[in-house]
Homo-oligomer: A and B are copies of this chain.
Amino acid sequence: MSLDVRLAAIRRATVDLVAPLSAEDACVQSMPDASPAKWHLAHTAWFFETVVLETLIPRYQSSFANFRMLFNSYYNGIGPQFRRAQRGVLTRPTLADVLAYRETIDVALQRALNAGVPASIADLIELGIEHEQQHQELLLMDIKHLFSCNPLAPRYRAPRVPGAHTSAPLSWIKHNGGLREFGAEATGFAFDNERPRHRAFVAPFALANRVITNAEYCEFVDSGGYRAPQWWLADGWHGVQTEGWAHPEYWRRQDEKWSEFTLAGTVPLDPAAPVCHVNYYEADAYARWADARLPTEYEWELAAEPVAISGNFVESGCLHPHAADAVTDNSQALQLFGDVWEWTSSAYAPYPGFRPLCGAAAEYNGKFMSNQLVLRGGACVTPASHIRASYRNFFYPHQRWQFSGIRLARDCR
């Protein structure tokens, strides 16, 4: 697909995601970590305007000068930013204004592409496309959180019946490890944090064939896992006591049964579906309780690199993880891509030889490389074309509103 066609498709997809929302839904911010849907719409246009159009067009004059500050997320190199925790007070510009802003930027981008752009600009547009896909996922995470705060439990869209309701049995796939290469090759699109490709040594290990199910996680909960400090990292146990974590973020207890809030409203908890919206501490505690551990990001990548990218992505329309179909071949890794982001035990850190992007984009990834952990593989709200085996997502260990789940690993001796 040519760049202009891809650009148009991605831009349209973002607007389509907002279609089920009222202007009210699109405006509100339910917590500082989340942003309003309208803000995502505006910020992704802002990114194209500020990073692409300002670079391309000499003496570029925006018709939306106020937006430079309002929709700057965190780029100190570009200028001051409107306070993150206050994004929800921006009832103006209205949703209609923001959609008009997007159109203006889209017209300018397509005009530029028609006229032909140098490769460096094409690369920035590529970056803008991937950036927009990240915000598509964030938009769905944020709407889910917003709706979850409402006792009316609104639906973002009608439920779609998932395929399997039973899950493949858990089995372990051995890997020899060794001195191997990791990270993205030098060519083709990848974020700066996936590069450079480099060598690392991995000891033999075994990886679970699929992610942990709700039924399996229920056993941990029912066995008193949230009341037993021995399973928890000290910081996690502190969170259990001060934040009251007692089950995954969106689980609800009704009539002595578990249900789960989803983008299709509250539904009974599917025991065969992957557990989702657990934070790192919960994932780590579950693993310890299960006499296993979380994989490193190298272990995960080693297992995933040979596997074709397919799975339950945003395009399935389900917007919820579903069970891994049983397969005849027990040695086949399931669900590596899609369904849930998989917590790894690897701190989000620069790869050896890491160089950030140039210019404003230098702040894109590098400055967040502390206190966070790497997650791999994409989720049911990730665009399929956005994911790679080398893709490194990252969240703070206490965060739970992303679609995060658990795949176990074990040492192999």
Contact = CB atoms under 8 A, between A and B. Distances in A.
A74 interface: yes
A86 B154 CA distance: 16
A91 interface: yes
A229 B78 CA distance: 12
State the oligomeric state as a number of copies. Answer: 4
Contact of A369 (B25, B92, B149, B233): B233
B22 A233 contact: no
A104 interface: no
A280 B23 contact: no
Interface string A401-413: 0000000000101
A230 interface: yes
A22 B69 contact: no
A272 interface: no
A347 interface: yes
Contacts of A100: none
A30 interface: yes
Given A198-B203, A232-B367, A371-B397, 6 more contacts: A24-B38, A30-B89, A66-B152, A69-B151, A203-B352, A234-B370
18 contacts: A22-B92, A24-B26, A27-B91, A66-B152, A76-B230, A76-B237, A77-B230, A89-B149, A90-B152, A91-B146, A93-B152, A198-B203, A201-B201, A234-B370, A236-B370, A353-B411, A353-B413, A370-B397
Interface of A: 22-28, 30, 38, 66, 69-70, 74, 76-77, 82, 86, 88-95, 146, 149-152, 154, 179, 198-201, 203, 229-230, 232-237, 280-281, 284, 293, 345-347, 349-350, 352-353, 362, 367-371, 397, 411, 413
